[in-house]
Amino acid sequence: MSIVIRDLVLPLAHHQLEVSVEMRARTTALYGPSGAGKTSLLEAIAGLRTPAAGRIELMERTVFDANRVLVPPRERRVGYVPQDDALFPHLSVRGNIFYGAPEDADATRRWFADYLEWLTTDRYGTDERDTTNNHATCWVMQVAAFAKYTHNRALMQDCRTRYKTVLLQQMAPDGSFPRELARTKPYGYSLFNLEAMATICQILSIPEDDLWTFELPDGRGMRKAMAYMAPYIRDKKTWPKPPDVMYDAHWPMRQSSLLFAGVALKQPEYLELWSRLPADSDVEEVVRNFFIRQPLLWFE
């Protein structure tokens, strides 16, 4: 696939991204520090973000030129799989699932079943699964959510097993996530990974297999993870790591992990803390990484 970008300008929260590049290889890796604009550039290519200036060509076809979107996202023939699962806040869970989908629920489930097949077998999916940080956590979170929707009990059980045997290996004995702490935005990514793990527990826990209370022999589990992070959510000034290089002042938000864990682990102090944190943000980076914005919809 050929992608040609000329004089593209993308205003971001703390800097302006300017890109001119030709990409004609079968596989291209885009890398850079956190907050550099990698996701923003991908969203511009997919048509999900409008640049301030420039030109984008996909397969010799101009899809954006000089502040005028020539081709809408749905016609660009570009697949984009984000690591989060953002919802429309004004719709129910069912409404989000069926938004823009065929009226035939069976057809919708078949689509998600096909997507699950790709996510669990294609190399691009399995490479994400086999990382040892928040990417692996978000892979399990997505597979768990879509497996539940498509009634794929085998995959749901695989996700429970993977949470216990693989994901919890990301956690240190004190409940922290060392791979996230090593990043340039340790606070934000620690919250992000905790949110994803909490969502997994919320989706997959059943009376006979409660992931919220599951612990490894050394005590690692969600109770330990919440106990580590909750004090720093309550009083961020006590955070022992350097401030995040970007967006540090915008965290924490009303983290869904506090609500989910407060109910599941019977911790009223988590519920109290959740209730007094900010629920919404107009900072795009925060919105992108705050993927469960209506957590009350996730209770059955």
Q: Give the residue ranges of the chain where pLDDT is below 70.
A: 67, 80-104
Q: Which residues contact 135 (CB under 8 A, 6 or more apart)?
A: 83, 128
Q: First-to-last CA distance in the chain?
A: 43
Specify the amino acid at residue 196: A
Segments making up each domain of the chain, as ranges: 3-75, 93-298
Residue 40 class from Cβ within 10 Å (0-12 exposed, 13-18 middle, 19+ buried)? Answer: buried
Distance (Å) of CA 88 to CA 134, 200, 284, 294: 23, 20, 15, 9
What is residue 123's predicted lDDT score, i.e. its pLDDT? 94
| pLDDT tens-digit map of 237-268 | 999 999 999 999 999 999 999 999 999 999 99
Distance CA 69, CA 66 (A): 8
Distance CA 136, CA 126 (A): 9
Alpha-carbon 149 to chain mean position: 18
How many CB atoms within 10 Å of residue 24?
Answer: 9
Adjacency order of strands within the sheet including 68-69: 16-23, 3-11, 53-58, 61-65, 68-69
What is residue 257's predicted lDDT score, i.e. its pLDDT? 97
What is residue 164's predicted lDDT score, i.e. its pLDDT? 98
Query: Any idea which fold 93-298 has?
Result: Glycosyltransferase (1.50.10)
What would the DSSP string read from start to end of 232-265? HHH-GGG--SPPPSSSGGG-----HHHHHHHHHT
How many CB atoms within 10 Å of residue 218?
Answer: 10
Distance CA 160, CA 157 (A): 5
Q: What is the DSSP letter of 4?
A: E
Distance CA 277, CA 162 (A): 32
What is residue 30's predicted lDDT score, i.e. its pLDDT? 84
| pLDDT tens-digit map of 168-222 | 999 999 999 999 999 999 999 999 999 999 999 999 999 999 999 999 999 999 9
Q: Which residues contact 279 (CB under 8 A, 6 or more apart)?
A: 253, 254, 293
